[in-house]
């Protein structure tokens, strides 16, 4: 599971056998979430994050969208 980055205790990562569309997995403590990045940021799954944490995660993803896409393309292409 390649880690893209860690921020404020959140781990943003891919699975090594992931598939398109481009998406990111997030974990912190025992909570996990998954977001599609393209074509539009969209929550796919949430297991344990509170609403405020999801808003923070979304802001972090939006701020780092280019990095996430670049790392995806480097890893999977």
- Residue (of 6, 24, 7) closest to 75 by Cα position: 24
Total domains in the fold of the chain:
1
Full-model pTM: 0.93
CA–CA separation, 48 vs 64, rounded Å?
Answer: 23
pLDDT in tens, 27-61: 999 999 999 998 899 999 999 999 999 999 999 99
């Amino acid at each position: 599971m390649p880690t893209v980055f860690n921020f404020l205790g959140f781990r943003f990562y891919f699975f090594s056998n992931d598939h398109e569309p481009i998406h990111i997995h997030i974990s912190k403590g025992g909570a996990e979430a998954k977001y599609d990045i393209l074509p539009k940021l969209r929550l796919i799954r949430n297991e344990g994050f509170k609403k405020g944490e999801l808003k923070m995660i979304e802001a972090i993803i939006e701020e780092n969208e280019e990095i996430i896409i670049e790392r995806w393309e480097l890893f999977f292409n």
